[in-house]
Chain A
Amino acid sequence: MSITLRLAWRNLWRQPRRTWLTAGAMVFSNVLLIFLIALQLGTYQAMIDNTLSAFSGHLQVQQAGYKEKQRIRQVVPRIRDVAEDLRSGLGLNSIAARGEAFTLASSESRTYGVLIIGVEPEFEPRASRIPSLVSEGRFLDNPDAPEIVVGDILALNLKAQIGDELTILGSARDGSFAAAVVNIVGIFDSGVDELDRSLAQMPLEFFQETFAMEGAGHAVVINAPSLFEVEAVAEKAKSLLPGGQNLVVHDWNDLQPGLRQAIQADLIGSWFMYGILVILVMFSVLNTQLMSVLERTREFGIVMSLGLSSGRLGRLVLLETVLIGLIGLTLGVALGGIATSWFEAHGFTYPGMEEMASQFNIPDRFYPDLNAISLFAGPTVVFVGSVLAAMYPMARLHWLQPVQAMRSA
């Protein structure tokens, strides 16, 4: 153990209360930062997963301009071949072709505007969660049967049940009148009100027949194995698209622009709060270290006149700060990690959580996500901030005149 380190350690315990109070400020901030950052990561992950996996997927292949205008004639031609090529080219099964049309759907007693999605019964269950969220009846299984599954709010609004017939009215791709009578075989409950209220799915081939699509569709949904691989998959998908048809690949940020921005808006507020916490810790460290330097003015004057350089003394003060910082870091990470992992296992909720949850597509309980980033990001910033705060007391040592210092009271 070097002499500077030993001196620094002893100096800390000349005023144990002060040292503990300073380290306490760090521990408090660290525990809070670990918990809040873990909570944010967990919530964002849930928001993204739930919103994307319910319906829109990570990526969609569409005709350029379809996303904005959503006109029925902006198509992806021979869409099932395109989807098949993408499946074999990307080596992924989580890819499905879709057709989309706005229609008027009438049950025996009610009529509502409905967005009808033509889906591939074989592949849709791997591309979105709606097929697995059928709460009554079954999902589609025949590619060209006149069958439909509808959202639970829509079913309620239509006063329709499994086995009932729905009449679909709309316009076909060529502008002609499109009409069909379909059987309700399933009702899904996705938990996203907007989808449950306005969405219905029917088999793609039957959809193509009804809307005179001539083999075309509107979107191929692609799900990457994880969020981190979306970009690579998108690049590869682009190279696999047939040329000359004006097709584009949209990523989830294009498809759900609100999602990323909601996260960013939330981050702005959080950064402000975290910044303030770190600044308050820095003030606390500055105060402690300045006091500890000032009360030792005489002592420092003596050792300097004995030949110790001000640089060496500066290192001593720095080391003292680093030691307090390490106490704060270790205890903060330990306590924060324990507290957060308890909540990670059990989750927590607060009154009113249900309304919030349905607005942001997250489950009714919060589950913080404790990982290397959430565990160390906050405490590291607090540590660095504390060391920076000690710069001013250190700098004062450079201006110290040994003789004057020895004479000071």
Chain B
Amino acid sequence: MTATAGIVFRLAWRNLWRNYRRTAIVLAAIVAGIWAMIFMIAFTRGMIESMVSDGIRSIPGHVQIHHPDFRNDPTVDNLMPSPGGELAAALGGEDVVAWSSRVRVPAVISSERGSRGVTLLGIDPVAEVPISFVADDIVEGRHLENERDRGLILGRRLLERIETDVGKRVVVMTQGTDNEVVDRGFRVVGVFESEIASTEEAFAFAGRAALQDLLAIGDQVSEIAVLGKNRREAEQLHRRLAETANAEVEVLPWYELNSYLGTTMRTMDGFVIVWIVVIFLALSFGFVNTLVMAVFERVREIGLMMALGMKPRTILAQIIAESLLLLAIGLAVGNILAWATIHLLSDGIDFSFVGEGLEIMGAASVLKPSLGIKDVLLSTAIVLGLGFVASLSPAIRASRYHPVAAITKE
């Protein structure tokens, strides 16, 4: 058996190069198709990856805990006590990298020049570092020092809109308990920038304790952001926390907190398979054509081999081996080229000329392709599988020739 397999393989290899021009052209087509297939997948994966990780940093966290009514009515009326007892113990679990409790209220920030509505977040700057984007993106001034810090961090765009600056005072107005409008002056101590420009206008950050003071809400908080080890494990983390938490809070994973992100992730897997199949189908016409020609030219030769005792099954195997060998070479070269292209572009491709458009999609303007081994294996399996199916018809036809008729054929 192994001896036959060896011969079949060696014959397949030699047959491929008998008509080297034809093989070279089909190979070039396969290589171009595989290259485009892998590159496009890596590129889209990279884009989605950055969308999701930016998205998780602005949610922030893999799992969040709120008062059950908070998401519909995000005000001071829907708070929960600071985590204690069982929940605090659960948050100390091994699968939690960091967690932070925050106060989140709608507010209006006014300078003497203008005012804007924002989402004001009271944070514990130290606990927040691994979870959200603020700390890394401070470009001017300083970060908050601790939760009692009475300073305020604003985004670059907001700062420009209301014409204020680091060191100046602004007035923060928001709704306290009992719908009293409460206000207090805050000094702007730092400025953050974000790749997603609208974030710079939407959020402002203050110390959590300072904000709790202003709102007179004691040590209650609006949300607890929990960062797990990675986003794929969010489901288990979510389940564990939801079991521990009591019924007075709502625990949700990131893909439900931002359903656009969750859907995009799921749609992506569908896109990968559709793209692989489309490319293969576009290739398959030229590929099958080549196989048909290769069988057609060798009718006499195939007849002779059968007359000499080669079994139809071996002939069948022969043709299929040739087709799979052709695809395997194309896959190898195409993958190497795609990998090299991705490697060359590992600093990312700058799409800032359409940056505001990518922002609508939630993506940053520098996109880095990212090649996953899973996608490579998937595409290889699909291409070889469909290639096998496509080569069946010419191979079966070849194996059914009658030796005498085939030999005498002109």
Contact = CB atoms under 8 A, between A and B. Distances in A.
Contacts of A294: 21
A288 B289 contact: yes
Nearest to A115: B117
B25 interface: yes
Given A284-B289, A288-B286, 20 more contacts: A21-B286, A22-B285, A70-B114, A104-B181, A106-B181, A111-B106, A156-B73, A169-B181, A261-B356, A261-B357, A265-B361, A269-B44, A276-B40, A280-B29, A280-B33, A287-B289, A351-B266, A359-B260, A359-B361, A360-B361
B251 to A, nearest CB: 21
B282 interface: yes
Interface stretch (B126-134, B171-179, B312-320): B171-179
Contact of A259 (B174, B283, B360): B360
Contact of B33 (A102, A266, A276, A286): A276
A102 B357 contact: no
B75 A18 contact: no
Interface residues of A, number: 66
A111 B175 contact: yes
A264 B357 contact: yes
Contacts of A71: 113-114
Contacts of B359: 258
Nearest to A113: B117
Q: Is the interface of B mostly helix, strand, loop or mixed?
A: helix
B21 A355 contact: no
A328 B182 CA distance: 72
A395 interface: no
Interface in A1-57: 17-18, 21-22, 24-25, 28-29, 32
A289 to B, nearest CB: 10
Contacts of B264: 352, 355-356
Contacts of A109: 77, 179
Contacts of B262: 355
Contact of B292 (A18, A24, A198, A290): A18
A-B pairs, 4 with minimum CB distance: A113-B117, A261-B357, A262-B357, A283-B29
28 contacts: A18-B293, A25-B282, A71-B114, A102-B115, A104-B181, A112-B117, A112-B175, A171-B110, A258-B359, A261-B354, A261-B358, A262-B360, A273-B40, A273-B275, A276-B33, A276-B279, A280-B279, A280-B286, A283-B28, A287-B26, A287-B29, A288-B286, A294-B21, A350-B270, A351-B267, A352-B264, A358-B260, A359-B360
B398 interface: no
B165 to A, nearest CB: 15
A263 B360 CA distance: 10
A241 B59 CA distance: 45
Contacts of A306: none
Interface string B43-58: 0100000000000000
B293 A113 contact: no
A281 B171 CA distance: 65
Contact of B360 (A18, A290, A360): A360
Given A273-B40, A276-B32, A24 B285 contact: yes
A290 B118 contact: no
Given A265-B358, A290-B21, A283 B260 contact: no
Contacts of A110: 73, 75, 175, 179
Interface in A121-173: 156-157, 159, 169-171
Nearest to B176: A111
Interface in B243-295: 259-260, 262-264, 266-267, 270, 275, 278-279, 281-283, 285-286, 288-290, 292-293
Contacts of B270: 350
B161 interface: yes
B360 A198 contact: no
Contacts of B33: 276, 280
B285 A25 contact: yes
B17 interface: no
Q: Is the interface of A mostly helix, strand, loop or mixed?
A: helix
B26 A111 contact: no
A272 B40 contact: yes
Interface string A252-282: 0000011111111110110011001101110
B362 interface: yes
A63 to B, nearest CB: 15
Interface string A301-343: 0000000000000000000000000000000000000000000
Contact of B181 (A72, A111, A284): A111
A272 B362 CA distance: 21
Given A22-B289, A104-B181, A258-B359, A280 B40 contact: no
A377 interface: no
A69 interface: yes
Nearest to A109: B179
Nearest to A282: B29
B68 interface: no
Nearest to A358: B260
A314 B259 CA distance: 59
A70 B117 CA distance: 13
Contacts of B392: none
From A171, A276, A359, A360, name the one whose CB has the most chain B CB atoms within 10 angstroms.
Answer: A276
A104 B267 contact: no
A312 B167 CA distance: 83
A114 interface: yes
B355 interface: yes
B273 to A, nearest CB: 13
B351 interface: yes
B354 A265 contact: yes
Contact of A112 (B21, B44, B106): B106
B278 A32 contact: yes
Contacts of A359: 260, 360-362
B217 interface: no
B357 A113 contact: no
B22 interface: yes
From B106, B118, B174, B360, name the one whose CB has the most chain A CB atoms within 10 angstroms.
Answer: B360
Contacts of A92: none
A166 B16 CA distance: 81
Contacts of B114: 69-72, 102
From A17, A114, A284, name the one whose CB has the most chain B CB atoms within 10 angstroms.
Answer: A284
A110 B263 CA distance: 32
Interface in B118-143: 118
A361 to B, nearest CB: 9
Nearest to A21: B289
A390 to B, nearest CB: 13
Interface in A85-124: 102, 104, 106, 108-115
Nearest to A354: B263
A279 B357 contact: no
Contacts of B304: none
B108 interface: yes
A400 interface: no
Nearest to B356: A258
A350 B355 CA distance: 27
B355 A261 contact: yes
A355 B282 CA distance: 31
B396 interface: no
A291 interface: yes
Contacts of A283: 25-26, 28-29, 32, 286
B408 interface: no
